[in-house]
Chains A and B, each alone.
Chain A
Amino acid sequence: MREPILMPSLSDTMETGHLIDWLKQPGDAVKKGEAIAEVETDKAVMDVEAFYDGYLAGPLAAADTDIPVGVVIGYIVDSLGAEKATEKQEKQEKQKVDKAPLAKAADVGIKAPPPAVQTSTEAPAQAAKAPASAKPMATDMTSSKHIPASPYARGLARELGIDLARLTAGPDGSIRSVQVVSAALGRVEPNLSDGPDYELHPLTPMQKAIANNMMAAATTPTFRVSARFPLAPLIALAHEEGYSLTLLLARACALTVEAHPRFNAVLTPQGLAQRQQVDVGIAVDVPNGLVTPVLRDVARRPVEELAGNWNTLKERATGKQHSQRLTPQDYRGATFYLSNLGMFSSVVHFDAVVPAGAVAILAVAAIQDGLVEFTLSCDHRVVYGADAARFMETLALLLGDPTGLDAAPTSGAA
């Protein structure tokens, strides 16, 4: 029996291992669990252990090389005789192996000629003598046939240049498209097989939607600008008029956005889509999720009317009855976002993720020593640092003297 020793996957993120040195020589007896080689991962130096009793056999991968996870680095045989009989042949093979891992490591994911072909051109005489024995080793380096994967996953992996051998299989032990796509997007699927037992809870549609939206937003180049303003005047106005603070903040944001219309645009492949009115999406905490109901035309409609809308939206967002739930029209299409954690008094600072479809989101922390920290996260493809600074200046003026907030909109709103 001749069992291959593979470069083990020693962490979730490990793609290649650096084989520091062999601790045993070919022909040495090894016991199951005994350390036979040292490997350096992206995190630590670890031992490769024998998983059978037997004898270490070549061809062995060369020490001091980087080798992809899952590639054969040597063999364990169960009788020494068999090992000695093939020793001569293996010496020839060893030369090939020394080079093969390097070729593989350099060419991960690229359709390169199999290493055996490269080597055989350099050493034609040896290849001619032992073509059959050279082949299996080369196959192990490039093939992922032994990994159970769906045909679709294989096709995707081929097109995207993903090596199936580097992927962690799903819960049923096989690779599906989801693992390939995750790898292509640079996401690493957590490998749960090593940790404690777990229960799987499928995401609710809302949780799934949030996860997808956040992933969609993850590629946005974002910068953040923070400022501290006193909120007392706005709070006083809210008490006086009986409006919610969030509503007045949304109004202040909308008026600020109108003064800086670039914050009401969104980048599309065709160009900058400049929106004609300010619709503010407001993050609302709901059990097991988050929704952002949208107030429409917040800069130009009377505050009283907006207050009515806002109460309805809030009821729907937190409503238990199906008939009262938010409809897609209630939460789609915001042009600016507001997230207020001011009700959690310990929150000094936070920033928020700019959802796709908008340019900026304003995060409002809790009041500390009379001041509240506002952090504006912005899509840097559309607005720049000074734009954000001017936005904050305008907002500061409005919050400092909020008397104009609930007044009918001034002219100029065309």
Chain B
Amino acid sequence: MAEQVFYWQALNRALDAEMAVDDSVVVLGEDVGLYGGSYRVTEGLHAKYGEWRLRDMPISEGSFTGLGVGAAMVGLRPVVEIMTINFALLALDAIINMAAKIPFMSGGQFSMPLVVRMPGGVAKQLAAQHSQRLEQTLMNVPGLRIAVPATPQDAYWQLRQAINSDEPIVLLEHELLYFSKGELDESRQAPPMHRAQVCRQGGDLTIVTYSRMCDLALQAATQLAETGIEAEVIDLRSLRPIDWDSCVVSLEKTHRLLIVEEDSGFSGAGAEIAAGLAERCFLIMDAPPRRVAGRELPIAYNAALEAASIPRVTDVVSAAQQLCNP
């Protein structure tokens, strides 16, 4: 039955559901135990499953992510929570050198049922070192999977799917999404974890986006409809692999591509999307692909500058208009 829940609640329920049926699911992270997680994702689980399954970790991302890798190698299904993606920089050795490589380097002798959850994105005045997105850093790592849920329903589905997967998966959440509400129906059949989702149908252009920018793109699409432009909005849901087929089907209809990403554009997710779709759809493109992305700047603390550093609805609207009416 569908109900309205916060994004963090959906993650909480996904963890609860998996921990209830599988003793090998454990959570490692800072303040995930008694405190219930910085964004409440593990709230109530410590009381239910105890300190051996929700382990509070010291402030040392490299070591406890490495612990997660080792635990996954010997048969547990660890879910590592890193407080923000900015701190994951300290854990990149464990994620990139260990988690992504061990299944390959061991010739498949070790599987890697590891989930690393972390929020990224620009929140509210957290300044440059706490406002990074960094998806590009993780995207170019063969062997790693990256899911980017934009709604409570997807957060629920994709966390459960990630825990059940034998491959290392980064679940890239967004700090501003934790307290967004949306529909959750726990009984609904989940689509494949890396399948993109058409959130809005339209025939004039395709907006490909993910995570928090989905909401922005949908708002822009509503405004565009008033000017006679019908945008199709695709939520990728996954950055590695990318569901090219869904995007191609849409471009066969619209012939125009607009990519919206919060991360800086240079060498980012949008660059990969543009290149991948140009390779597949070049002959049916009626205009060059276009990106609306964050500026090439460390994010400022100042609220006005911060807001101007990442895409706004008006940026998406005007880019779409220029794309459709050159």
Interface residue ranges, A against B (CB under 8 Å): 150-155, 170-172, 174, 176-177, 200, 202-205, 208
Contact = CB atoms under 8 A, between A and B. Distances in A.
A176 B228 contact: no
A174 B286 contact: no
Interface string B312-326: 000000000000011
A176 to B, nearest CB: 5
Interface stretch (B17-25, B35-43, B187-195, B277-285): B277-285
A205 B226 CA distance: 7
A18 B45 CA distance: 86
B326 A170 contact: yes
Given A177-B255, A203-B228, A204-B228, A152 B285 contact: yes
Contacts of B326: 170-172, 174, 176
B319 to A, nearest CB: 15
Provide the main secondary structure of the chain B interface. Answer: loop
13 contacts: A150-B285, A150-B286, A151-B282, A151-B284, A151-B286, A152-B283, A152-B286, A153-B286, A172-B326, A174-B326, A176-B286, A177-B286, A205-B226
A208 B286 contact: no
Contacts of B286: 150-153, 176-177
A251 B247 CA distance: 51
Interface in B264-302: 282-287
B325 A151 contact: no
Interface of B: 225-228, 255, 282-287, 325-326
Nearest to A154: B283
Nearest to A205: B228
Contacts of B226: 205
A208 B230 CA distance: 12
A175 to B, nearest CB: 10
Contacts of B228: 202-205, 208
Given A152-B286, A153-B286, A208-B228, 11 more contacts: A151-B283, A151-B284, A151-B285, A152-B255, A155-B283, A155-B284, A176-B286, A176-B287, A176-B326, A203-B228, A205-B225
B150 to A, nearest CB: 28
A174 B286 CA distance: 10
Contacts, number: 37
Contacts of B255: 152, 177
A206 to B, nearest CB: 9
Nearest to B255: A152
B203 to A, nearest CB: 12
Choose among A151, A155, A203 the residue with the greatest number of B CB atoms under 10 Å from its CB. A151
Contacts of B287: 150, 176
Contact of A202 (B225, B227, B284): B227
A84 B257 CA distance: 52
A225 to B, nearest CB: 37
A170 B323 CA distance: 13
Contacts of A171: 325-326
A393 B133 CA distance: 76
Contacts of B284: 151-152, 155
A277 B325 CA distance: 43
A155 B252 CA distance: 13
A152 B227 CA distance: 24
B290 to A, nearest CB: 13
Contacts of A151: 282-286
A174 B288 CA distance: 12
A202 B325 contact: yes
Choose among B225, B282, B286, B287 the residue with the greatest number of A CB atoms under 10 Å from its CB. B286
A355 B302 CA distance: 57
Nearest to B229: A202
B181 to A, nearest CB: 25
A174 B325 CA distance: 12
Contacts of A170: 326
B169 to A, nearest CB: 36
A62 to B, nearest CB: 38
Nearest to B325: A202
Contacts of A177: 255, 286
A309 B274 CA distance: 52
Give 10 nearest A-B pairs by CB, closest first: A172-B326, A152-B286, A150-B286, A177-B286, A151-B283, A205-B228, A152-B255, A152-B284, A176-B286, A208-B228
Contacts of A172: 326
A87 B326 CA distance: 45
Nearest to B251: A152
Choose among A150, A172, A176 the residue with the greatest number of B CB atoms under 10 Å from its CB. A150
Nearest to A153: B286
Nearest to B287: A150
Choose among A152, A203, A208 the residue with the greatest number of B CB atoms under 10 Å from its CB. A152
B172 to A, nearest CB: 33
B258 to A, nearest CB: 15
B216 to A, nearest CB: 22
B6 to A, nearest CB: 31
Contacts of A155: 283-284
A153 B226 CA distance: 27
Contacts of B285: 150-152
Nearest to A200: B325
A177 B204 CA distance: 12
A208 B203 CA distance: 14
A173 to B, nearest CB: 9
B105 to A, nearest CB: 42
A152 to B, nearest CB: 4
Contacts of A204: 228
A176 B286 CA distance: 6
Contacts of B227: 202
Choose among B225, B227, B255 the residue with the greatest number of A CB atoms under 10 Å from its CB. B255
A171 B324 CA distance: 12
A361 to B, nearest CB: 26
Contacts of A202: 227-228, 325
Contacts of A208: 228
Nearest to B322: A172
A193 to B, nearest CB: 15
A289 to B, nearest CB: 12
A176 B325 CA distance: 10
A310 to B, nearest CB: 29
B299 to A, nearest CB: 33
A342 B3 CA distance: 56
B200 to A, nearest CB: 16
A170 B225 CA distance: 23
Nearest to B227: A202
Contacts of A200: 325
A152 B253 CA distance: 12
